[in-house]
Structure 1
């Protein structure tokens, strides 16, 4: 579990890419202070497992499902990436509940400076439009942001100055692609509502929960 508060901007040192998978070596420092093999680190919003590490970098594998469903396949040596360690149980929750499981890839279609902020209009798969809530939370390349507005194409977010400097989003431009993870609370609510609509009684039962994968 993550919070969407970027701890550090790392740099991709090496990429070993196959047809449907890849291995990343990422140079960094802060997220390595207490790292262990098997730990989870969010790379541009994607939860990856540390398979090896040294004093100045870590290695993670990207499996086929992640390769095809995120923007990680576009990474090359020298690219900068947002990094966040999995949240410690005694940490402050500065962002929102972030799983590191990307829902879809979005495209930045407009960038507008407004005073000290930058507005991004992002187009996304309409399938996930029902999971957007005005003033609700969304994760863009691993960064926790507030949905400023919703349109037929997608949504708008506003970057404050610290987000512009402390994440890679400040350097994004029109046409760039980003990883999108919708708020998990919105997902649960949508799932519960859809389950109620399919039940004749309109209520939840143990059978309904089991049928929809909530029980083993």
Structure 2
């Protein structure tokens, strides 16, 4: 579990690419302070497992499902990435619940500066529209953000100066992909409501209709 508060910007040192997989080596500092094999680190919002590490970098594998479902496949040597360690049980919770499981990939369609804020408009897959609401939460490339405007095709977020400096989002250009994780609580609520609807539907059977004279 993560919070969406980016701890460090790392740099991709190497990419070993398979047909549908990757092995990433990422240069970092904060991530390596207490790293252990098997630790979870969010890379641009994608939960990856540390498979090896040195004093200057760590490696992680990207499996085919993650390769196709996220923007990690476009990373090259020198790419910068948002990094966050899994939250400790005694840690402070500063963002929102972020699982590191990406729902889809959006595309930056506009950027605009307003005073000290940077407004970024992102087009997203329409099937996610019901998860987004004005002033709701979303994780973009692993960064916990507030939605400032939304419709059925795009959403707008505003980056304060700190977020512009401490994440890679401000560096991105129009046309660049962005990993999107919808609000985890919204997804759980949707699932529970769907299950309740199924339960109600499943209680109406032919035997029940015949018993009460409806069939």
Residue 20 of structure 1 contacts residue 68 of structure 1 at CA under 8 Å; is this kept in 2? yes
The CA distance in 2 between the partners of 1:178 and 1:66, in whole Å, is 14
| Structure 1 residue aligned with 2:171 | 171
* Pairs within 5 Å for 1:67-106: 67-106=67-106
Residue 2 (structure 1) aligned with residue 2 (structure 2): yes
Q: Post-superposition shift, 1:201?
A: 7.1
Aligned to 1:96, the other structure's residue is in SS state coil
CA offsets 1:48-82 (integer angstroms, 9 cap, x no match): 00000000000000000000000001000000000
Q: Which residue of 2 aligns with 1:110?
A: 110
The CA RMSD over aligned residues, in Å, is 1.3
Larger radius of gyration: 2
SS at match of 1:186: helix
* Secondary structure in structure 1 of the residue aligned to 2:110: strand
TM-score (norm 2): 0.92
Kept in 2: contact 1:10–1:83 (CA 8 A)? yes
Cα contact 1:196–1:202 (8 A) shared by 2: no
TM-score (norm 1): 0.91
Structure 2 partner of 1:23: 23
How many Å apart are 1:202 and its aligned residue? 10
1:109-135 Cα shifts (integer Å, max 9, x gaps): 111111110111111111111111221
State the shift of 1:174 in Å.
Answer: 1.0
What is the CA–CA distance in structure 1 between the aligned matches of 2:6 and 2:200, rounded to whole Å?
45
Correspondence for 2:207: none
1:13 is aligned to 2:13: yes
Q: Could you list the per-position Cα deviations for residues 110-165 of structure 1 after superposition, in whole angstroms to 9, with x for gaps in the alignment? A: 11111110111111111111111221110000100001111121211110100000
The residue number in structure 2 matching 1:160 is 160
Q: Indicate yes or no: 2:192 matched with 1:192.
A: yes
Please give the alpha-carbon distance, in whole angstroms, between the structure 1 residues aligned to 2:180 and 2:162: 20
Q: Aligned with 1:38: secondary structure?
A: coil
